[in-house]
Amino acid sequence: MTTNTNHRPTFRELMMEAEQLPKGEAKLAILDEAVRLADSAQDVMQGYQARVQIVETASFSGFPLRALVAFSWLLGQWDKHEDAFNTFHLLWYYKWVLNKASHFPDITMEQIESLLADMLERYRAYGYSDRTYHHYRFRIAMQCGDREQAMEHYEAWTALERDDLSDCKPCEQHQLVKYWAFMGDDERAFEAAEPMISGRMKCSEVPHFTFAALLLPAYRLNRVDDAEVLQKKGHRLIAGNKDFVEAFGDHIAYLTRIDVKKARDVFERALPLAVHHEDPFEKMMFDSSAAGLLKRMAASGYPYKLRLPASHPLADQAGDFEKLARWFEDGATATAASLDRRNGNEMYAALVRSRIDVG
């Protein structure tokens, strides 16, 4: 609460103010301002400094597009003045940006391939192994519904020794959980999640994502008690954080099948975070789960007025569940169609359907 609108803060003041804020929109707004100042003054070092903070903040608070824009600039500067900046950080950030690229249907398969090749080339130039490249190829293959590629690069990735650019162990373990769920083996997904469930493996995003990803498998395996604990613990970890919109979708989808009232509470709390989310994939996962819930609510006929954020396009129709369900459904199926078109398969159409039609 220090910005006075009549005084224009300096770059340093802005950076100090940003430092005090938690990761999120308010912090990004201040960093954007810092970037604007730096750019106006044509100060590359300051522009670099502020954008590093944007990448760090945006990547973990649900703004992948802003991270991409800032990173693009950093990479451009790095190629111009390679010695001036910290190489390791840039190589590390590359993973974050690459990981989210496949979430955007507007980014073509060729572009994703080029990004992977570009990353590999840069990693090799600095003496790092191909392991991280294979790991991300594996992740992207899963994200794009390519089983063969996923299996191939899973093998290649796990055959190599870790190095300094490897993701932390909990994050890698989480990918194994996702892999088995992706392959349709819920049992093995659960086995792979044991280190997270027992609390031995954790980092800033694990087990947050893991617990969410296990909810529907647990439901399918009829592990009722496990699911209940995972839901409770998992939701506490992610509540209020825009970085976990996909995970909110998982929670809503699971709870819709178990306890509609709880699902509704989670939905109402998470909706303001999801409504204008930058990440089309995550938003799709949220929206399809929301549509499933709203359809259930419409079918039950129980009168209720949802708490919708003022900025929601249907904010004035908070009691019309059918209309709301359709709105969420339309958004989700449109994104699914464009992702599938890009990926050349129908994985998301099917996935989204399974969330919308709870039955």
Partner 1 sequence: MNEPNAFRFQVNLGGMIDILSNHLYSSPKVFLRELLQNATDAITARRKSEPGLAGEISVELVGEGSGSSLVLEDNGVGLTEEEIHQFLAMIGQSSKGNRDFLSQEITFIGRFGIGLLSCFMVSDEIVMITRSAQEGSPPLEWRGKADGTYTIRKLEIEVAPGTKVYLRCKPGCEDYFTPGRVGELLYHYGVMLPYPIRFQYEGGLQTVNEHIPDWLAQPDVIRTRKQEALQFGRRLLGETFTECIPLQTSSGRTGGIAYILPYTVNLNAKKTHRVYLKQMLVSEKAENILPDWAFFVKCLIWTDELQPTASREGFYENERLDQVREELGDSIRRELIRMSAYEPDRLQSVIRLHAHSMKALAAEDDTFFRVIYKWLPFESTYGQHTLGELMERSRKLGFTRTVDEYRQIAHIAKAQSLLIINGGYVYDAELIDRLPEVCPDVEVEQMASTDVSLAFGDLSEPERHQYYEALRQADAILQRFRCRAELKRFQPESLPALYLASKEYNAMRSIELTKQESTPLFASILTNVSNRYHEAAYATLVLNLNNPMIARLFAADAGAMLPTALEMLYVNALLMGHYPLRKEELSLFNEGLLRLMDLGLNGNN
Please state the closest distance from residue 174 (CB atom) to partner 1, in A: 18
Q: Which is nearer to partner 1, 338 or 354 (CB)?
A: 338
Task: Give the C-alpha separation, 228 to 283, whole Å.
Answer: 24
Please state the closest distance from residue 173 (CB atom) to partner 1, in A: 19
Please state the closest distance from residue 7 (CB atom) to partner 1, in A: 12
Task: Give the C-alpha separation, 291 to 62, whole Å.
Answer: 21
Q: What secondary structure letter does DSSP report for 242?
A: G
Q: Which residues are CB-contacts of 170 (< 8 A; sequence separation ≥ 6)?
A: 195, 196, 201, 202, 203, 206, 207
User: Which amino acid, one-letter code, is at 281?
Assistant: F
Q: Which is nearer to partner 1, 79 or 83 (CB)?
A: 79
Taking the CA of residue 334 as centre, how many other CA atoms within 13 Å lie in the half-sphere pointing to its CB? 10
Please state the closest distance from residue 158 (CB atom) to partner 1, in A: 29
Residue with tokens 């954790």: 202
User: Which amino acid, one-letter code, is at 256?
Assistant: T
Q: Which is nearer to partner 1, 309 or 344 (CB)?
A: 309
Give the CA angle between residues 247, 144, 129 to the nearest 5°. Answer: 95
Please state the closest distance from residue 137 (CB atom) to partner 1, in A: 17
Pinpoint the alpha helices (H) of the chain: 11-19, 25-40, 44-58, 64-80, 87-101, 109-125, 131-143, 147-159, 169-182, 186-192, 194-197, 208-220, 224-238, 245-258, 260-274, 280-300, 321-343, 347-356
Q: Given the rule CB under 8 A, which residues bind partner 1?
A: 1, 3, 5, 8, 20-22, 24-26, 29-30, 32-33, 35-37, 39-40, 65, 68-73, 75-77, 79, 101, 104, 106-108, 111, 114-115, 118, 199, 236, 240, 272, 307, 309-311
Q: Which is nearer to partner 1, 75 or 221 (CB)?
A: 75
Q: Which is nearer to partner 1, 76 or 303 (CB)?
A: 76
Q: Which is nearer to partner 1, 229 or 350 (CB)?
A: 229
Please state the closest distance from residue 168 (CB atom) to partner 1, in A: 19
